[in-house]
Chains A and B, each alone.
Chain A
């Protein structure tokens, strides 16, 4: 069964450092997403990506965040200068249509900023 793959599963970084979270969406999917879940809280939408550009982003997705699809398979989330409050589980998801189908989620990357 096809799956979304995220690496690393857990990343610890020092405050102020840049991190790149990597995702390999399902190959025939066209829409990609990043969500985050701060421990014990609800899942929050960060950004959606289609046709090599951002479709939608939330207010959480400020200038410290960026996304990229560098090589047609990977989908990355970069946090330029991490803050303590960026500590969360980050989920990548992809779908083959805009809606009316499930979003397949990766296993998540747990980011810990110290």
Chain B
């Protein structure tokens, strides 16, 4: 069975600093996709970044990048130059060959001014 582990329940980061949110996964599927979503206090789920298991390069989307270490089964999200608006819950998820997204417990990120 697939599993996602986010070991940081909460993080405080100073504005403008970079932040790394940890995500490790466990799957026996050779083909899978890894996703990061942001959930602000309003509740909606906002897609941030995707990494495919066969992608050779780490994914980047603006200030978001994914540090994908396949052998270690980790897919950490890096947010550069954090902003106050980055304060939210962040979820890591894996999509497996059964087309399901399996979610981590999330990390609550709070950006301090």
Binding site for B on A (CB under 8 A): 31, 33, 35, 41-45, 48, 50, 55-56, 58, 89, 91, 93, 98-105, 107-108, 110
Partner of B93 from the list A43, A50, A55, A89 (CB cut-off 8 Å) is A43
Closest to A41 in B: B105
> How many residues of chain B have a CB within 8 Å of chain A?
26
B50 and A43 within 8 A (CB): no
Q: Which residues of B contact A (CB under 8 A)?
A: 31-33, 35, 37, 43-47, 50, 52, 91, 93, 95-106
Q: Verify B99–A55 contact, CB threshold 8 A.
A: yes
| Residues in chain A near residue B50, CB distance under 8 A | 100-102
Q: Which residues of B contact A41 (CB under 8 A)?
A: 105
Residue of B nearest to A105 (CB): B45
A24 to B32, CA, bound (A): 26
**Bound CA span A45–B45, Å:** 14
Contacts A98-B99, A100-B33, A104-B47 aside, 4 further interface pairs with beta carbons under 8 A come to A43-B91, A48-B100, A99-B31, A101-B33
List, in ascending order, chain B residues with CB within 8 A of A101's CB. 33, 50
B98 and A42 contacting across the interface, CB-CB below 8 Å: no
Q: Are A99 and B35 in contact (CB under 8 A)?
A: no
